Amino acid sequence: MQKINNKLNLLRELMAQRSIQAYLVPHSDAHDSEYTSDSDERLAFISGFDGSAGIGLITNTIAYLWTDSRYYLQATKQLEHGWELQKLEPGVPTWVEHAKANLKGQAIGYDPLLISHQLKKTRGASLEDVEFKAINENLIDLIWTNKPQDSLSEVIIHELEYHQYPTTKKISQIFENLKQKQAKSILISKLDQIAWVLNLRGNDIKFNPLFKSYLYLKDDNTGTLFINPTKINQQVKQYLTENNIEIKSIQDVFNEKFINAAVTPAEINHRLIQQVEDPIVLNACPIELLKAIKNEREIQGFKESHIRDGAALVHYLGWLEKQLLDGEVLDEYQAATKLAQYRYKQSRNMGLSFDSISSSGANAAIVHYHPTENNKSIINPNHIYLIDSGGQYLDGTTDVTRTYHFTQPTVEERNAYTRVLLGNLDIERLKWPQKSKIHGGDIDVLARRWLWEANLDYGHGTGHGVGYFLNVHEGPHGISKYRTEVFQPGMIVSNEPGYYEEGKFGIRIENLILCVKVNNQFLGFENLTYCPYDRNLINLDLLSPRDRNYIDQYHALVRKTLLPLMEEQIAKDWLIKMTEPL
């Protein structure tokens, strides 16, 4: 116990020296990244909680962590002594409300690199009598012994053959979109935007092919990349020179003055915006939408990489079922490691797109659970097994969830599974008039209505955008009641309703779907994911003949597409068994 408290005690000493009564620790980095490098996992270091969303507030007496419903169970397990979980839900004060009530006349310190300019303005204004004080050195870093170093791995070129979208064309499209704003330059700090514009990829953040940097672009098609220069080899240097991009050290960005540059306050950190004189303020960075609408080559890549990824997944599932039914004892971590090996074997594979959520029984009810070497359970063949996983490929990024039961599921499990599946299919089968400008907020209810009919629901959104050999989560579109970005052909979104019974089981079924033109007037979705559903968990009584037929057609397509890629007899047998007509 003593050692755990020690970190908080050391932090409180530093707070006292700087005359602050509280310190804010967001789960973030200087680039507003959802997933951060090991060297930026400050919240995990100080609290023990390593989920991808959360914010810590340490006062002189207590430390609080705020996070959302995906992470309640995980946070309860992981938080160290001296910490208290605050749930982000109605009726529970947010950190701002807590500060206003308990820290009047006092000061909260924060690192301006880790807070966006917009957050600083809105939170600063709503804190009223509480001072929100920028402290340029990060206090967590000062007490973090053995802090991991930033990655020094080299940046690579994402070759034209995979996307047919040269950097010069991307830059002119960005400035085309900025015309109304009369912006002649733009300062970019989001790492996936920088990687996308420059057609470069890196290895600084696990599962995300990104490199820490800032990018300044001008409308004369020139620019500056601020990056650790040791990461740029001769070939990449040559490539950047050909694209009129000069290279400067990443720290130099804080010595430059950017006049009239376009910036997105929701993305740029509060420290960096100090370098911009008379900024042109954007509500949204134009790169987000350009990146979200995939071109023909990228769509082809998504389709092809999903077939290879489906082959890896089916090999794994056939292997897993046989092991379990033969009485082998396997834990969730061993299983996830085996799945990773099948993925690594696929051509053009560049690793995984996130930590595999390989979860048995009650663990499947923890939405963002992932087993580790030190925290895992044995896979019980008599319980539900949920696997949510994905791969990075030179020609796409995958994210797929399947839920199986290898023996005798309960009636409750079968009914819940079937209702989740029907919600998934109702999203996938939707068609709408293009002129209606339909967005994710309009359709989220379709994924839930079968569950609602049985008084069931789930606490997360239904879908997110996906990058192209980039982040597995991207915007601006998605499927949830909060999403307002209109669907356009070429957008890819996940479709992942679920149901979670705490302490018992969890169900999620996820495909990636592509927004397509059905005809001149209507849009719809096309499923890109190839992997059988679990016939064992389907309650046929809940299906209409149309539903049954639709699932049979999907299974026939999965069989026809993947069977030629099966290299192991076990996988072949499993695929044939799972894709028989219902």
Q: Say if pTM beats, i.e. exceeds, 0.85.
A: yes
* Angle between helix 167-177 and 191-198 (nearest 10): 120
Contact 313, 339 (CB under 8 A): yes
Decide: helix, strand or coil at residue 74.
helix
The span from the CA of 6 to the CA of 12, in Å, is 10
Q: Which regions in the chain score pLDDT beneath 70?
A: 1-5
Contact 177, 264 (CB under 8 A): no
Structure tokens at 450: 């079968």
**For residue 1, what pLDDT is reported?**
42
**For residue 2, what pLDDT is reported?**
45
Task: List the beta bridge partners of residue 226.
Answer: 214, 248
The span from the CA of 187 to the CA of 268, in Å, is 9
Structure tokens at 327: 């009485």
Short-list 403, 301, 409, CA closest to 360:
403
**For residue 3, what pLDDT is reported?**
47
Short-list 185, 273, 263, CA closest to 224:
185
Q: How many CB atoms lie within 10 A of CB 101?
A: 10
The span from the CA of 420 to the CA of 402, in Å, is 11
Contact 454, 577 (CB under 8 A): no
**Sign of the alpha-carbon torsion through 268, 485, 515, 425:** positive
The span from the CA of 113 to the CA of 273, in Å, is 10
Short-list 356, 210, 208, 305, CA closest to 514:
305
Contact 534, 283 (CB under 8 A): no
* Separation in Å, CA 197 to CA 20, 350, 470, 528: 41, 20, 12, 25
* Separation in Å, CA 70 to CA 28, 404, 461, 500: 17, 21, 10, 11
* Separation in Å, CA 316 to CA 284, 359, 411, 512, 543: 41, 15, 27, 20, 28
Which string of b and e fits 43-81 if b means at least 16 CB within 10 Å?
bbbbbbbbbbbbbbbbbeeebbbbbbebbbbbbeebbbe
The span from the CA of 288 to the CA of 272, in Å, is 20
The span from the CA of 262 to the CA of 247, in Å, is 20
C-beta contacts of 51-54 below 8 A and 24+ residues apart: 51/27, 51/75, 51/368, 52/27, 52/368, 53/27, 54/26, 54/27
The span from the CA of 118 to the CA of 5, in Å, is 33
Short-list 187, 201, 117, CA closest to 393:
201
pLDDT 10s digits, 321-335: 999 999 999 999 999
**For residue 73, what pLDDT is reported?**
86
The span from the CA of 109 to the CA of 111, in Å, is 7
Strand 511-517 and strand 492-495: the pairing is: antiparallel
Judge residue 560's burial from the number of C-beta atoms within 10 Å of its C-beta, 0-12 exposed, 13-18 middle, 19 or more buried: exposed
Taking the chain, what is the end-to-end CA distance rounded to the nearest angstrom? 56
The span from the CA of 119 to the CA of 27, in Å, is 14
Q: Which helix (H) or strand (E) holds 360?
A: strand 357-360
Contact 26, 55 (CB under 8 A): yes
Structure tokens at 528: 């890109």
Short-list 372, 369, 399, CA closest to 385:
369
- Give residue 139's Cα distance to chain centre: 27
Short-list 245, 207, 251, 205, CA closest to 227:
251
Strand 55-59 and strand 22-26: the pairing is: antiparallel
